[in-house]
Amino acid sequence: MAMPGQLMFVRSLGPNARLLIWLLVGVSFMVLDTRYQTLDGLRSGFSLALQPVRELLRAPSDVALELQGFFTRHRLLQNERDALLAERAHMQNQLNDAQSLARENAELRALLQLPARPGQHVVRAALLYQGHNWFAQRITLDQGAAAGLRGGLPVVDANGLVGQVSRVYPGSSEVTLVSDADQLTPVFIERTGQRGLAAGSGRNRMELRYMPAQTDIRRGDRLLTSGIDRVYPAGIPVARVTRVTRSQSSPYLRIESQPLAGLDRSQAVLVLVTEAQAVQP
Amino acid sequence: MNAPAQAFGSWRHIFGSVVLAVVLEQFPWTGWALALRPDFVLVGVLFWVLYQPARIGFGVAFFLGLLADFQDGVVFGQHAIAYALGVYLVLFLRLRLLQFDPLRMAAQMFPVFLAVQLVVLLTGWLSINPPDNLAILLPVLGSTLLWYLLTGFLRLWHGKSLQDRT
């Protein structure tokens, strides 16, 4: 049936043929991207074009946060200040301990003549964007190659390990979170020192894999990076064990844990940039 | 029935609304808002495909799909293929969709959006976990051949010839 203003017999390709053509184009894009990695230029182009828009759109939520903070009641601030003062005293205590430990450590290192950890500096970055992705857990940060970032660097926030830089654009970068199913993190159990391999298992969850059934581990244990992969520095908190189940059919324990870093809420993170050669995963 | 289709949809409207959709997706959505966020770009594209099929079609949808692929940090082509399929479905159902009021039209669009998301899921899964070879498709040939043999045998059994006489 022809609509008014439309030709009854139009000399052009029908929807079926067009769909087929675009499907072929789409499949070739997928093959080019996955097999030959030739489309990174297009990614960088999109990133450059969208960066200013994203920077601009982050402003309203920042302003809202500022206003919210401004109207926070005085009483609350006083309470918070008291708590912070107490915490500072406590921290000072710990800092003294840590300083003496660091001194002792330096002496011991000198004794053993181990190479000191290569010069490391941190880059402050903020969350720029988070997309939908069923198969991977990624966020976009507002710092990129211009700030000295490159693929493979570890990203932390105030509470623990966030993930690893996986793609770098000129002004922004993509971070694969530790909860990504393909992301493996070498860890050790803080209480016992036993090493293991933690893998992401979806949204804000991780699991510790291949721990024999007689392993000494219980709910509440913290997992820290072991540093044996030379990617993550040793001792960054990664996750807290939430459940340990023994299976009759498997020789391994099933250990579920929850990442300590605010993977889905952290706004500000730090990227640890090592000057020395970093091993690409 | 065709009045609204002609009354709006200048290039300015189309371009403005698509740019607005892209911008809306750039907000730093998190948590529940991110999970429930509609696919503004897809809605915009399918809307214009429905009302201005001569102006917005597969090409624009494909390009915006590539943009969506970049946004989510996935393989290029995943959303592009899905959006192209969405455009096809809307073109296929176009005359039918235009007859409905907004509520019924939305109900008709539900399966279209669902199909697009399922294609995103399927292509994403295939790109991460590609099959080793295409041997899994070989039974298709076998089944087709079996169909021919079966129907042909039954026709011969009933005393007819294999080919229709014209």
Q: Which of B88, B97, B86, B87 is nearest to B5 (CA)?
A: B97
Res. A1: pLDDT tops 50: no
pLDDT at A110: 63
Tell me the mean pLDDT in the region A147-157: 89
What's the CA gap between A31 and A36, in Å, rounded? 7
Say if CB A12 and CB A6 are below 8 A apart: no
Whether residue A18 and residue B62 make contact (CB cut-off 8 A), yes or no, is: no
Find chain B residues with C-beta within 8 A of A58's C-beta.
Answer: 28
Burial of A71 (0-12, 13-18, 19+ CB in 10 A): exposed
Which chain A residues in 73-132 lie under 8 Å from chain B, judged by CB atoms? 127-132
Q: What is the pLDDT of residue A2?
A: 46
Contact list, B93 vs chain A (CB under 8 Å): none
**Which residue has better confidence, B106 or A133?**
B106
d(CA B150, nearest CA chain A) in Å? 30
Which two three-digit tokens encode residue A204? 């804000």
Q: What are the start-end ranges of the E strands in A170-212?
A: 173-177, 184-189, 195-200, 206-209
Q: Is the pLDDT of residue A11 over 70?
A: no
Return the amino acid letter for B137: L
Residue B41 has pLDDT above 90, yes or no: yes
Confidence check: pLDDT of A112 > 80: no
pLDDT over 70 for what percent of chain B? 95
Rounded Cα–Cα distance for residues A52 and A191 (Å):
46
Residue A184 has pLDDT above 80, yes or no: yes
- Whether B97 contacts B105, CB under 8 Å: yes
- When pLDDT is cut at 50, 70 and 90, the band that residue A277 belongs to is low
CB A267 within 8 A of CB A127: yes
Chain B residue numbers with beta carbons less than 8 Å from the beta carbon of A22 are 58-59, 62, 80-81, 84
Residue B125 contacts by C-beta under 8 Å, 6 or more apart in sequence? Answer: A135
Where along chain B do its domains lie?
3-130, 133-166
Cα of A26 to nearest chain B Cα, Å? 5
Question: Over 60: is that where the pLDDT of A278 sits?
Answer: no
Rounded to the nearest integer, the mean pLDDT of chain A is 83
**φ, ψ (nearest 5 deg) of residue B140:** -60, -45
Q: What are the pLDDT digits (tens) for B138-165?
A: 899 999 999 999 999 999 998 888 777 6
Percent of chain A with pLDDT over 90: 23
Chain A residue with minimum CA distance to B74: A133
| Residue A111, pLDDT score | 59
pLDDT, position A103: 76
Residues of B in contact with A46 (CB under 8 A): 66-67, 70
A133 touches chain B (CB under 8 A): yes
Nearest residue in B to A3, CA atom:
B2
pLDDT tens-digit series, residues B80-133: 999 999 999 999 999 999 999 999 999 999 999 999 999 999 998 888 877 777
Pairing between strand A184-189 and A195-200?
antiparallel
Question: Helix A15-36 to helix B58-71 angle, to the nearest 10 degrees?
Answer: 30
Question: Which residue has better confidence, B160 or A17?
Answer: A17
Write down the pLDDT at residue B166: 60
> Do the chains contact at A54 and B28, CB–CB below 8 Å?
yes
Q: What is the predicted pLDDT for the residue at B3?
A: 46
A205 pLDDT higher than 80 = yes
- Going by C-alpha positions, the residue among A256, A259, A227, A229 that lies closest to residue A163 is A259
Cα distance between residue A243 and residue A82, in whole Å: 35
Rounded-to-integer distance, Cα B150 and Cα B157, Å? 10
The distance of B31 to chain A (nearest Cα, Å) reads 7
Q: What is the pLDDT of residue A101?
A: 85
Distance CA B52, CA A193 (A): 65
Per-residue model confidence (pLDDT) at position B48: 94
Q: How far apart are CA B96 and CA A46, in angstroms?
A: 36
Highest mean pLDDT among A3-17, A207-221, B36-50, B119-133: B36-50
CB A160 within 8 A of CB A273: no
- The beta-carbon neighbor of A30 closest among B28, B62, B77 is B77
pLDDT exceeds 50 at position A209: yes
Check residue B145 and give its pLDDT.
95
pLDDT digits (tens, 9 = 90+) for A52-102: 888 888 887 778 777 777 776 677 888 888 889 888 888 888 888 888 788
Residue B58's closest CA among B93, B84, B90?
B84
Residue B143: the pLDDT is 95
Tokens matching residue B44:
């915009």
Does the pLDDT at position B44 exceed 60?
A: yes
- Side-chain-side CA neighbours of A199 within 13 Å: the count stands at 8
Does B78 contact A30 at a Cβ distance shorter than 8 Å? yes
For residue A281, the model assigns a pLDDT of 53
- The complex's ipTM works out to 0.80
